Amino acid sequence: MPTGRHLRLHYGPMLHYPQIDPVALQLGPVAIHWYGLMYLAGFLAGWWLGRVRAARLGSGWRPEEIGDLLFYLAVGVVVGGRLGYVVFYDFSRFLGDPLSLLRVWQGGMSFHGGLLGVLVAMGLYARRTGRPFFAVTDFLAPLVPPGLFAGRIGNFINGELWGGPTDLPWGMVVGGSRWGDVARHPSQLYEALLEGVVLFVILWLYSARPRPTMAVSGLFLMGYGGFRTLVEMVRVPDAHIGYLAFGWLTMGQALSIPMVVAGAILMALAYRRRPAAGGR
């Protein structure tokens, strides 16, 4: 017998997911997907914001450098994000279908893999330009959340990464054999708001004044890791992985909690050293 809560979920006023076509434009055999367009929008936003930051007095950066920086970022995000998804979330499928690694337009990008890819790319960029590694990551960190926002909107358009059942007024009925006809948390939109909008405002305002080297990078890790861990409490884990432990720990949380710890360590080290660095 369903509980009263389930009855409300099933029969009460509900929003319905609009089932958006993931293909934005079809040009003959070429399909342009919304997911790819969201990534493009994120990179363009990062490029523009980077030029704004570089133009600030005493930034230590020149606006014309941002194009190269974003190129390294894009390569790190795409290569690391795809490899990370395969390793962390879909390795068995990769073993059976190695070409699935190349089908980025179908979705399947890991933020944590993308972060590792970006760190490698920023290390190469720092070495090539003779900048300290954390001077690069501190400058870059506030440029990342708009891309996270765009990526989560891409997840929403693709109809993936839904949350568990809810009776909140903004819950959405997705339909289909997996999701059923109950209202669910639109967890992609929660992440777009927290990881994209809120984290951007925090980092942009915090980095508007000179901060100790590593502090902005540390705040980014703490902010993203904390927000992601929070949203994972309502997000349904990948069906082929499920919960890792305790009936609630997801792969996303297992990868995000260490980010919070690492960010706190960077912040502590930054303020122990204390001298504020320019170029923020």
% of the chain surpassing 90 pLDDT: 57
Please report where in the chains the tokens 């994120």 appear, as a residue.
42
pLDDT score for 1: 38
Residue 31 lies in a domain: yes
pLDDT bin (cut points 50, 70, 90) of residue 10 is: very low
CA distances from 225 to 35, 240, 254 (A): 23, 23, 10
Checking if the pLDDT of 276 tops 70, the result is: no
Under 8 Å CB-to-CB from 30, ≥6 apart: which residues?
Answer: none
Sequence-distant (≥ 6) Cβ neighbours of residue 205 within 8 angstroms: none
For the chain, how are helix, strand and coil distributed in percent, rounded to 5? Answer: 65, 10, 30
- Look at phi and psi of residue 12 and say left if phi exceeds 0, alpha if psi is from -120 to 50, else beta: beta
pTM of this prediction?
0.85
Length of the chain, in residues: 280
- When pLDDT is cut at 50, 70 and 90, the band that residue 104 belongs to is low
Task: Report yes or no on 118 lying in a domain.
Answer: yes
DSSP string for residues in 112-162: HHHHHHHHHHHHHHHHHHT--HHHHHHHHGGGSHHHHHHHHHHHHHHT-S-
> For residues 187-216, b (16+ Cβ closer than 10 Å) or e, as one string?
bbbbbbebbbeebbebbbebbeeebbbbbb
Confidence of residue 100 (pLDDT cuts 50, 70, 90): low
Residue 197 lies in a domain: yes
Please name which of 70, 66, 72 lies closest in space to residue 124, comparing C-alpha atoms: 72
Task: Look at residue 141 and tell me whether its pLDDT is greater than 70.
Answer: yes
Residue 74: pLDDT above 50? yes
pLDDT, residue 173, reads 94
Comparing 80 with 125, the larger pLDDT belongs to 125
DSSP H helix total and E strand total for the chain: 12, 7
Q: Which residue has the higher pLDDT, 28 or 279?
A: 28
Any domain includes 123: yes
Instruction: Assess if residue 10 is contained within a domain.
Output: no
67 compared with 95, residue with greater pLDDT:
67
Q: Is residue 166 in some structural domain?
A: no
Q: Are 49 and 143 in contact (CB under 8 A)?
A: yes
Domain membership of residue 140 (yes or no) is: yes
Which pLDDT score, from 0 to 100, does residue 27 have? 86
Range of the domain at 119: 21-158+186-277
Write the pLDDT tens digit of every residue in 156-205: 998 888 999 999 999 999 987 778 889 999 999 999 999 999 999 999 99
pLDDT at 258: 96
User: For the chain, what is the domain count?
Assistant: 1
Q: Is 153 a member of any domain? A: yes
pLDDT of 157? 93
